[in-house]
Amino acid sequence: MSDDLIKATAKALPNTDLKEATCEPISLGGSDRSYYRINLNNDQSLIVMEYTTDRPDNAKFAAATYTLKRLGVATPEILSHDSKKQFIWMEDLGTQHLWDHRDTKWDERSALYISVIDESRKFHAGNEQTLKKEELTQLEPSFDESLYKWEQDYFFDHFLSYYSRRAPSYQNSLREEEEFKRLIELLTGPEKTLIHRDLQSQNILLKKNKPHFIDYQGLRLGLREYDIASLLYDPYVSFTKKQRAELAEYAFEGEERSEWKPIFMGCAIQRLMQALGAYSKLGNQLGKTEFLNYIPQALDNLREILSEENILPRLEPYLSDEALEF
């Protein structure tokens, strides 16, 4: 594969000196895409992404990049794109993720998160009126009732059905409760803006301490609260309540808490249900068992919210230690 990829790179980037180039695979999370680093002979490098169309959003990475670039958002530069062979050559932003600072002292860590929130404002400012029609058609369909319902079903089908001690009939009865429909209604009301869809610490690279977004092929219209909730209730890292509240207040500075907080908390619940479903599916069905390590933190985050917010009261007892079997 290495030799073939270097040959393909020579064809895609004919002005690049590849005489002593080497190729190394990069392992990245739960993606079904393959990544490689091409090391050049001048201490420079570039990244190659090989994708499939098994998931429709994979083919939308390039279009999402061009939209974000037009909005001034920090992303990798696309150097070449072969849509037939499904390869994208792009700028190498390095190896330092926001996740790598998960144990950094809070003053430094909070400054990084604030810079991420500031950078995200650039695409959160985009909406149906300000984006070009062709941009919207090239991105993923916007969040709507059916997508929120899909995320909830994903949680039931891949997490609760796998770990719950309750009979399937009880689980199916729970998923039809009105409270889940009310949550969807809460999240379909506000104005939609452009969102990343998977804004978490492993999808943010730091180049000279400036955040750059990656893995944004799911870019679409949705709720910015969903992005901020994904960032602040990220199961890959830990926050104290005070730290999370500090960042949330910054993200929604100047807005009435009574307006943004219910939506933000609803988005956090929705996102955490989706994450639990994903971790379970990746770990138990697809053999990527490392993702099972993040279930406890995601579950603790969801339990914390449910204990404080009257959003999904009937779900809470299903998530107790007595109701789950790991």
pLDDT in tens, 128-166: 999 999 999 999 999 999 999 999 999 999 999 999 999
| Structure tokens belonging to residue 283 | 């770990």
Q: What is the CATH number of the domain that holds 173?
A: 3.90.1200.10
Residues 117 and 71 in one domain: no
Q: What is the CATH number of the domain that holds 57?
A: 3.30.200.20
- CB-count exposure of residue 214 (10 Å: 0-12, 13-18, 19+): buried
Residues 262 and 121 in one domain: yes
Mean pLDDT of 240-263: 97
Residues 81 and 114 in one domain: no
pLDDT value of position 28? 67
Q: Is-contact 127 84, C-beta < 8 A?
A: no
Q: Is 252 contained in some domain?
A: yes
Q: Is 325 contained in some domain?
A: no
Intra-chain end-to-end CA distance of the chain, in Å: 39
Give Rg (Cα) of the chain.
21
DSSP labels for 107-174? HHHHHHHHHHHHHHHHHHT--TTTS-HHHHHHSPPPP-HHHHHHHHHHHIIIIIHHHB-S-HHHHHHH
Is it the case that residue 41 has pLDDT exceeding 90?
A: no
Residues 236 and 103 in one domain: yes
Q: Is 213 contained in some domain?
A: yes
Is it the case that residue 168 has pLDDT exceeding 80?
A: yes
Residues 169 and 186 in one domain: yes
Give the C-alpha distances (Å, rounded to integers) separating 224 from 119, 124, 170, 228, 324.
13, 6, 34, 6, 32
What φ, ψ does residue 145 adopt, rounded to 5°?
Answer: -60, -40
Dist. CA 87–CA 89, nearest whole Å: 7
Residues 266 and 282 in one domain: yes
| Structure tokens belonging to residue 209 | 């301490």
Residues 83 and 105 in one domain: no
Residues 116 and 74 in one domain: no
Q: Is-contact 164 323, C-beta < 8 A?
A: yes
pLDDT value of position 118? 98
Mean pLDDT of 200-229: 97
**Scanning the structure block, which residue is given the tokens 């709720």?**
223
Q: Is 324 contained in some domain?
A: no
Q: Which residue, 67, 91, 115, sits at the end of a domain?
A: 91
Residues 173 and 270 in one domain: yes
DSSP labels for 5-45? HHHHHHHH-TTS--TT-EEEEE--TT-SSEEEEEE-TTS-E
Q: Tens digit of pLDDT for each residue in 61-120?
A: 999 999 999 999 999 999 999 999 999 999 999 999 999 999 999 999 999 999 999 999
Is it the case that residue 27 has pLDDT exceeding 80?
A: no
Q: Which residue, 35, 61, 91, sits at the end of a domain?
A: 91
Q: Is 272 contained in some domain?
A: yes
**Identity of residue 107:** D
Dist. CA 23–CA 208, nearest whole Å: 24
Lowest mean pLDDT among 29-33, 68-72, 96-100, 307-311: 29-33
pTM for the full predicted model: 0.95
Mean pLDDT of 227-250: 98
Give the C-alpha distances (Å, rounded to integers) separating 20 from 25, 41, 67, 165.
17, 6, 35, 57
Q: Average per-residue pLDDT in the chain?
A: 96
Top mean-pLDDT range of 39-43, 49-53, 216-220? 216-220
Torsion of CA 190, 71, 202, 101, to 10 degrees: -100
Residues 139 and 83 in one domain: no
Q: Is-contact 220 195, C-beta < 8 A?
A: yes
Domain with 52 in it: 2-91
Q: Which residue, 29, 58, 91, sits at the end of a domain?
A: 91
Residues 169 and 49 in one domain: no
pLDDT class of 43 with cuts at 50, 70, 90: confident
pLDDT value of position 53? 87
Q: Work out how many domains the chain is built from and give that number.
A: 2
Is it the case that residue 200 has pLDDT exceeding 90?
A: yes
Lowest mean pLDDT among 30-44, 54-68, 157-171: 30-44
